[in-house]
Amino acid sequence: IIRNDTAQGDPLFTVPILYTRVANLTGPLHLCYEIHGRPDAYFNYISDDCTSVTAHYVQSTNAPIYNIIDSISIVAIDSADHCHQIQVNSNGCTATYDGVSITRNSPGPGSNDIRSPFSHRGISIRRYSDRVRIKVPNCADVSLVMWVVCETVNISDPYTGVNLGPVTMIKFIISRGFNLHEYSHGLIGQFWNIPINVSSFNGVSTYPPRFNDLLYTVFINHPVDPQRQFVGLLYRSWTQRGTSCLHVGNKQAGKIREIESPNDPVIRGTYTDYEVSGPFDTQFVYSVFKRSDSC
């Protein structure tokens, strides 16, 4: 299971879940999983009626065993029903709106750059030195708020522990997502705002006995997708202090070796089902973005 084979540097996801409480679980709970993907490929993170988010995976230059995220691209419909393209790149944590740069300083004479913070028809972009806050309407009264964080971390070989040096990468965070629909999709979107049943695991595993009390069965009852069940290991989050996680899936959010049953994939299908042709392509196997023609 992924707590044992992951390392800081992978594309890691920490998604809050609405779960049915069990006797020995209280407080907020998250699903923690990872999608290593493949280099030089685009994968959809969120697909909803009026918002689509795509991540670009590249191979790390000084740590080629890792794929990292170097850009996030967003297609968003504003409050006037117009389509816009937003992109954040890890190189300098730069941002663009419909191809025009968002600058933290006053644009020079003759420049077309847009001064941060920028707000227009429900879309808001605020650029900081190491992160960008993006707010989009998602065709709702309350906005969807996302952060794209550009961070440099020291990563190590997961097998030898050898330090591989600093790597600059992107971390994508949804800080306010309660206007995502239950039927939203994507590698992240499919877990937002859906009820999830969690119960103690009573099956057979190859884990040492000391892990028995930390294993839980997770039942996903998505309104559109087929039902699926898998087992998670209760542990702290990779990066968020005080956050409890059920670590689930293998390095591509698929089945794990330690459990025979239930052992469905964490995500619907396989990670390749979420691949798109480019940064602003909204169409993939499970896309629910309804405004692709106007964009």
Q: In the prediction, which pLDDT does 242 show?
A: 66
Is the full-model pTM beyond 0.75?
A: yes
pLDDT of residue 5: 40
pLDDT of residue 77: 95
Instruction: Count how many residues are written for the chain.
Output: 295
pLDDT at 293: 60
List, in order of start, the domains of the chain with CATH numbers: 1-41+180-278 (no CATH), 49-176 (3.40.1000)
What pLDDT, on a 0 to 100 scale, did the predictor assign at position 6?
Answer: 40
Q: How many CB atoms lie within 10 A of CB 75?
A: 23
Residue 9 has a pLDDT of 45
Which residue's structure tokens are 């619907």? 268
In this structure, what token pair is assigned to residue 133? 């806050």
DSSP per-residue codes, 36-84: ---SSEEEEEEE-SSEEEEEEEEE-SS-TT-EEEEEEEEEEE-TTS-EE
> First vs last Cα of the chain: how many Å apart?
40
Asked if residue 201 lies in contact with residue 94, where contact means CB atoms within 8 angstroms, the answer is no
Note down pLDDT in tens along the chain; length 295 residues: 444 444 444 568 889 888 887 878 888 899 999 999 999 999 999 999 999 999 999 998 877 778 999 999 999 999 999 999 999 999 999 999 999 999 998 887 778 899 999 999 999 999 999 999 999 999 998 999 999 999 988 887 777 878 888 888 999 999 999 999 999 999 999 999 998 999 999 988 998 888 889 999 999 988 889 999 999 999 877 665 667 899 999 989 999 999 989 999 999 999 999 999 999 999 999 999 986 566 7
Q: What pLDDT does residue 60 have?
A: 86
Residue pair 222/194 in contact (Cβ under 8 Å)? The answer is: yes
Note the pLDDT of residue 24.
81
Give the number of other CB atoms < 10 A from CB of residue 147. Answer: 17
